[in-house]
Homo-oligomer: A and B are copies of this chain.
């Protein structure tokens, strides 16, 4: 089976899990729930929940509490996009070929839907925590701790802040600051995905940290690839306007390193991630299958065209 097909199947699996945790679209606040569900269902690769589930199985997890954590991380990822697209931020009207949340539901509802998705991620995990038996409570507690740190003010939101500020000032951003943005804005949540998968499998601190380092490399590779696609991508396949970084006078990895170096860095980072991954290998056939999948996924990410 081709990796694209595998990813497609796993994305559908992830979506089935996520659906279980979406709010019913009824009651006085129905518009909020519709705007949240619209945002989540708008598509996307579901990369974070896929990574989480795969790392979970890689480390011998039995799937306990996994669905909730998959839904939570996808909601956090989605809220960040919804707020990022707002007129006060990136002013994007199109994402994944569809109207962005504020384009479809108005600004106020997009702000609230974003708040709702972020908050609901922790509601889901809070419910899970209360329904835990004492033995697995520690694992869910770690998921809450990891996810809130990595999505938080010294993680994703920190990266988003520096990104927005750099964009607004239009001044040339230092390479150091650019690295910060890439590490935090995209890297942190991919790290969290992998770490939480491990945490729910009851992995020790050392293995969880190793997963984080792998996620960091993949996150950086993924982000650089995004920059490359913004320059050379095809708008129809991409589902969003290309050249937006240039239009916004945004310095990217490509600005600093050039297209060729950027492409080879993506390859290199992906390879390093793959090498670290081998340290987590086990003899178990299910675990082995996941190791193969992750390797394929990593190298697929370096060749993706959308």
Residue A268 CB within 8 A of the other chain: no
- In whole angstroms, what is the CA distance A145 to B106 when docked? 30
Interface centre among A27, A134, A145 (most CB of B within 10 A): A145
Are the C-beta atoms of B123 and A108 separated by less than 8 Å?
A: no
Residue A100 CB within 8 A of the other chain: no
- As a 0/1 sequence over residues 256 to 289 of chain A, the CB contacts with chain B under 8 angstroms (1 = contact) are 0000000000000000000000000000000000
Query: Within A148-191, which residues are at the interface with B (CB < 8 Å)?
Result: 148-149, 151-154, 157-162, 164-165, 168, 177, 180, 184
- In whole angstroms, what is the CA distance A148 to B127 when docked? 9
Residue A255 CB within 8 A of the other chain: no
Contacts of A152 in B (CB 8 A): 116, 119-120, 123
- In whole angstroms, what is the CA distance A153 to B117 when docked? 8
The residue from B23, B122, B127, B164 contacting A112, defined by CB atoms under 8 A apart: B164
How many copies of this chain does one complex carry? Answer: 2
Contacts of A58 in B (CB 8 A): none
Contacts of A13 in B (CB 8 A): none
Query: Within A111-155, which residues are at the interface with B (CB < 8 Å)?
Result: 111-112, 114-116, 118-120, 122-123, 125-127, 129-130, 132, 134, 137-138, 141-142, 144-149, 151-154
5 more CB-based (< 8 A) A-B contacts, given A106-B168, A126-B145, A137-B141: A83-B111, A108-B168, A109-B164, A112-B160, A141-B141
Interchain Cβ contacts under 8 Å between A and B, 10 examples: A28-B177, A29-B157, A29-B162, A112-B157, A112-B164, A122-B144, A123-B148, A126-B145, A137-B138, A137-B141
Residues of chain A touching chain B, judged by Cβ–Cβ distance below 8 Å, are: 23, 27-29, 31-33, 36, 79, 83, 86, 88-89, 106-109, 111-112, 114-116, 118-120, 122-123, 125-127, 129-130, 132, 134, 137-138, 141-142, 144-149, 151-154, 157-162, 164-165, 168, 177, 180, 184
